[in-house]
Amino acid sequence: LSYFRKQRNRITSELRRSKRAYYNSLFLNVKRTEVVWKNLNAILHEGNKLEPITELTIEDEIKTGATLANAFNDFFVDLVNSVPSTEATRYVKSVPESIFFFPTDEEEVISIFTCLKNSKSCDINDIQIKPVKYVIKSIASILVYVFNLSIQTGIFPRKMQVAKVSVLYKTGDKNELGNYRPVSVLPIFSKGLEKIIHKRLYRFCEKHSILSPHQYGFRKGCSTELALLEQKELILSNIENRLLTLGIFIDFSKAFDRLNHETLLQKLLAYGVRGKALDIIRSYLQSRFQMVVIDGYHSNSRQMKNGVPQGSILGPLLFNLYINDIVNIDSKVHMIIYADDTSIFFSGRNTSELIEAGNRFLHKLNEWTISNSLVINSKKTKSVIFRSKGINNICQQQALTLGAQTIEMVKTVKVLGVMFNEYLRWDESIQSTAKKLSRVVGIIYKCREKLPSSVLLLIYNSLFYSCFNYCFLVWGNSTYSNINILYLLQKKAIRAICNEAYCSHTTPMFKRLGLIKITNYYDYKLILMYKTALNKPDSIFLSLSSLQTKQISYAVRHADTWIVSRSRTNYGDQMLQYRLPKVLNTMSLLGVEVEVISKKCLRSRFVEL
C-alpha cells in the first residue's frame, strides 16, 4: 500500500508539472492579446460549449432547417405592429435650425473603418471586417463616391440594408420562440455610412442641446455610474432635508423593436433634420430587410416595418431622439434615463402626497406611451419609497396605478445592475457582488497549479476587478463590514495568484502585483473621476459635487483648499459634496497636487497604502 501511494503521488506530481509546462508554453512569448484570450478562453470554458440549434418542437410540430429559420424570422418580424399617432410630437420642442450632411473624404472613411471593432462574424455577403481593413486605403475612393452619392440623393443603398440574424438562447423553455434573442450582423460597408451620418447628427444634437441632459445612454462622457450617482445624490439630499423620495422604475417592453418609423421621422423633422438628411434616414429605416440563419439554413428575407436595427451604429442615437421628449411630460418630475431604462423620482413630506403626484404623472406617461407606440411592462415596473432608517412604517392608503394595472411597491430594486435598498443600504448589492467574486476566486484557485501568475493576474483583472469596479462610486462607501467582505475575497484571490499559503500576509503581494486594496479603492476612483471631469467644463460629476474653494484671509499652518459641507446625518456623509472635498483636502495635506499628478503616479501612491 505504501508503494502504491508513493507511485501515485509521484505520478500526480509529474502530471501537475507537465500541465504547468504545457500551459506555460501556450502563453510564453505570446504578444498578441487575441491569442492570449483565445488560449485562456479554451482553458476556462473546457467542455462548456453552446449546443447549436438544429430543431424545435413548435405547436406539436418538429421544425428544422429552413422551416425553423422561417419560423424564427416570422416571429421576430411580426412581434410588433404599431400605428403612428398625431399626438406623438405633442411634447417635442422644435429646433428652428436645419442640419446639413456635408460630404465625406478618403481620410474620414479610412479613419472610420480602421476604428471599427474586429469581429469574426460574416455579414450577409460573407464579408468580415478584418480583410476590409487591410484593403481600405485601396477602396477608400470608391466608398467615398458611394457614400457621397447616398448623402446627395438621400438614398441609403439597398444592398447595405439586409441583416443576417442568428438566434441566441436566453432562458426558459427551449421550444418557445420568445425565449431566444435575435443577434443581427449588419453589412460591413453599411457601418461606414452609418458612422458618417451618426457623427454629423450627433454633433448637431450637441450643438443645439437637443438631447436631454437626463439621458445618459449612448452619449460621450456619460455612463451608468454617473446616472446612478445622480440618482443616489438625489435620494441622499432628500433624506438629509427630511424628505421622502418615491422612485418609479419603468420597464419598457422591447422598446427598440417597437419604435414607429413615421413617428420618429416626425420628431426628427421637428428637431431640425430636414431635406436630404431626413430622406436618407427615412431610406435607412423603411427599406430594411433581415433573414435568419440557423445551422447553415437561410430563411426568406422579410422587411422590418418597425424598430431600429440593434447592433447598428445609428440605431441608439435615433432611439434617444425618439424618447427624448419624455422628459417634457412634466417639468416638475425628476427623471434619469439610460437608453430605455427610465427612473422617475418625486420628493415630498408624506406618502399620500407622493402617491398622488405619482399617479398624476403615470396617467400622462400612459398617454405618451400609447401615442408613441411603446408598451410598459407593468409586472416588471417597480416602485420604492426611499427614506432614512428611522422611518420604519409607511402608511400607504392608495396604490400606484398605470392604466388598469397596479405598480408593485418593493423594498429593493435593481437599477442598471445595482441593488437600491429603501434605506439606501448596500447589503444586497455587496452580497450579490460577493457571490460573483467568490466564483472568480474559485476559478483562480482551480487554475493556479497550471497557469503562470501573469495569466492569473489577467483573469483577476478581467473577471474580479471588472466585477467590483462596476459603479463602485455608487456603493463603494458602504459600511466597513460590507467592504471587508469583498476585501477578504480580494486577499484570497491575491494569495492564489502568488501561489502563497492561505494565511500569508498580503500587503507585500499587493505591492508586488501593483494592485490597490479594495478598502482604499473608493478614494482612488473618486480622485480619478474628478481628474477626468476637470477636462469637461459642463461635467455632470462636478455639478453633483458642488465644489467650493475655501477663502482664507489670514495665514495658517494647514489650510484646507476646499469647503467640506456640514451634514445632519450619516446619509449626508455619503454625498459627493462631503466626500470629494474631504478626500481632496487629505491629498493636499499629503503634498499631492491632484490636478497635476499623473494617473500612473496616483495609482502608485494608492498601491503603497
Round to whole Å and give the CA distance between 592 and 605. 10
30 falls in which pLDDT band (50, 70, 90)? low
What pLDDT score does 511 carry? 94
Rounded Cα gap, residues 72 and 179, in angstroms = 11
Residues 123 and 187 grouped into a single domain = yes
Residue 306 scores a pLDDT above 80? yes
Residue matched to cell numbers 450582423: 185
Give the span between the Cα atoms of 265 and 284, in whole angstroms.
11
Question: In the prediction, which pLDDT does 438 show?
Answer: 95
Which pLDDT band, with edges at 50, 70 and 90, does 372 fall under? very high
Q: Is residue 556 very low, low, confident or very high in pLDDT (cuts 50, 70, 90)? A: low
- Rounded Cα distance between 156 and 287, Å, is 9
Q: What is the pLDDT of residue 342?
A: 94
Do 454 and 578 lie in one domain? The reply is no
Q: When comparing pLDDT for 337 and 568, which is higher?
A: 337
Orientation of helix 33-44 relative to helix 427-447, angle to 10°: 90
pLDDT digits over 107-165, tens only? 999 999 999 988 888 888 889 999 999 999 999 999 999 999 999 999 999 989 999 98
**Predicted pLDDT at 557:** 61
| Residue at 310 is within a domain | no
Domain boundary residue among 399, 421, 443? 421
Mean pLDDT value across the chain: 89
From 491, 515, 539, the end of a domain falls on 515
553 has a pLDDT exceeding 80: no
Give yes or no: residues 536 and 600 share one domain: yes
Confidence label for 84 from pLDDT (cuts 50, 70 and 90): confident
91 within domain boundaries: no
pLDDT surpasses 60 at 47: no
Mean pLDDT value across residues 284-292: 90
Q: Are residues 386 and 245 in the same domain?
A: yes
C-alpha cell at 157: 443603398
Q: Which residues of 432-450 are buried (b: 16+ CB within 10 A; e: fewer)?
A: bbbeebeebbebbeebbeb
- Give the Cα separation of 568 and 572 in Å (integer): 6
Among candidates 487, 542, 526, 524, which has minimal Cα distance to 600? 524
17: CB partners within 8 A, 6+ apart? none
Compute the half-sphere exposure of residue 539: CA atoms within 13 Å on the CB side of its CA.
15
- Give residue-wise pLDDT tens across range 215-264: 999 988 889 999 999 999 999 999 999 999 999 999 998 888 889 999 99
Q: Give the C-alpha distances (Å, rounded to integers) separating 229 from 472, 482, 510.
A: 10, 19, 29
- As a whole number, mean pLDDT of residues 514-525 equals 96
What are the backbone dihedrals phi and psi of residue 180, each rounded to the nearest 5 degrees, phi first?
A: -120, 145
The Cα–Cα gap between 173 and 331 comes to: 44
Assess whether 416 and 343 both reside in one domain.
yes
pLDDT above 80 (res 85): no
Percentage of the residues of the chain whose pLDDT score is greater than 70? 95
Q: What is the H or E stretch that residue 167 is in?
A: strand 162-169
User: Of 305 and 418, which is predicted with more confidence?
Assistant: 418
Distance, in Å, from the CA atom of 132 to the CA atom of 114, rounded to the nearest integer, reads 9
Residue 16 lies inside a defined structural domain of this protein: yes
Task: Identify the DSSP state of 597.
Answer: S
Residue 282: enclosing H or E segment and its boundaries? helix 276-286
Structural domain contains residue 576: yes
Instruction: Write out the residue range of the structural domain in which residue 395 sits.
Output: 229-252+322-421
Written as nine digits, the cell of 506 is 498580503
Q: What is the DSSP letter of 549?
A: B
Q: pLDDT (tens digit, 9 = 90+) per residue, 420-462? A: 999 999 999 999 999 999 999 998 998 887 788 888 898 898 8
Q: Tell me the sheet residues that pair with 164.
A: 185, 291
Assign 487 a pLDDT band (cuts: 50, 70, 90).
very high
What are the backbone angles phi and psi of residue 296, rounded to the nearest 5°?
A: 85, -5
Spatial separation of the C-alpha atoms in residues 216 and 233, rounded to whole Å: 16
Q: Say whether both 113 and 13 belong to one domain.
A: no
Domain co-membership, 141 together with 104: yes
* Number of C-beta neighbours around residue 152 at 10 A: 12
Tens digit of each residue's pLDDT (9 = 90 or more) over 410-424: 999 999 999 999 999
Residue 397 lies in a domain: yes
Pair (410, 498) in one structural domain: no
Q: Are residues 403 and 455 in the same domain?
A: no
Which pLDDT belongs to residue 395?
Answer: 67
Same domain assignment for residues 458 and 403: no
Query: In terms of Cα–Cα distance, which of 465, 435, 455 is closest to 497?
Result: 455
* pTM, 2 dp: 0.89
Helix H, strand E, coil C: the string for 291-344 is EEEECCEECCCEECCECCCCCCCCHHHHHHHHHHHHHHCCCCCEEEEECCEEEE
244-251 vs 180-185, strand pairing mode: unpaired
- Please state which of the ranges 108-117, 173-182, 183-192 shows the lowest mean pLDDT: 173-182
Indicate if the alpha-carbon torsion angle 523, 524, 527, 529 is positive or negative.
Answer: negative
Name the least confident of 104-108, 147-151, 300-304, 514-518. Answer: 300-304
Task: Compute the average pLDDT of residues 183-190.
Answer: 90
Look at residue 53 and tell me if it is in a domain: no
pLDDT at 525 over 90: yes
Q: What is the pLDDT of residue 96?
A: 94
Task: Give residue 31's pLDDT.
Answer: 64
Counting beta carbons within 10 angstroms of the beta carbon of residue 124, is it exposed (0 to 12), middle (13 to 18) or buried (19 or more)?
buried
Q: What is the C-alpha separation between 403 and 557, in angstroms, rounded?
A: 64
Contact call for residues 388 and 414 (beta carbons, < 8 A): no
Helix, coil or strand: residue 61: strand
Interatomic CA distance for residues 155 and 147, integer angstroms: 10
Considering the domain architecture, whether residues 327 and 378 belong to the same structural domain is answered as yes
Residue 285 lies in a domain: yes
Contact present, 188 and 164 (Cβ < 8 Å): no
Res 301 pLDDT > 80: yes
pLDDT at 52: 73
Pairing assessment for the beta strands 289-294 and 162-169 based on DSSP bridges: parallel
- Look at residue 433 and tell me if it is in a domain: yes
pLDDT band for 48, please (50, 70, 90 cuts): low
Q: With the C-alpha atoms ordered 319, 322, 323, 325, is the resulting torsion angle positive or negative?
A: positive
Three-class SS of 370-422: HHCCCCECCCCCEEEEECCCCCCCCCCCCCEEECCEEEEECCEEEECCEEEEC
Pick the last residue of a domain from 372, 402, 421: 421
Torsion angle, CA of 247/253/256/262, rounded to 10 degrees?
-100
Within 561-598, residue ranges assigned H as helices are 570-573, 576-589
Q: End-to-end distance of the chain based on CA atoms, in angstroms?
A: 52
The reply to whether 444 and 564 lie within a common domain is no
Quote the cell numbers at residue 117. 471593432
Q: Are 303 and 289 in contact (CB under 8 A)?
A: yes
**Rounded CA separation 16/590 (Å):** 48
Q: How many CB atoms lie within 10 A of CB 87?
A: 13
Report d(CA 379, CA 371) in Å as an integer.
Answer: 21
Say how many domains are in the chain: 5
Least confident of 30-34, 63-67, 108-112, 242-246: 30-34
Look at residue 126 in the predicted model and tell me its pLDDT.
87
- Indicate the burial class of 187 (C-beta count within 10 angstroms; 0-12, 13-18, 19 or more): buried
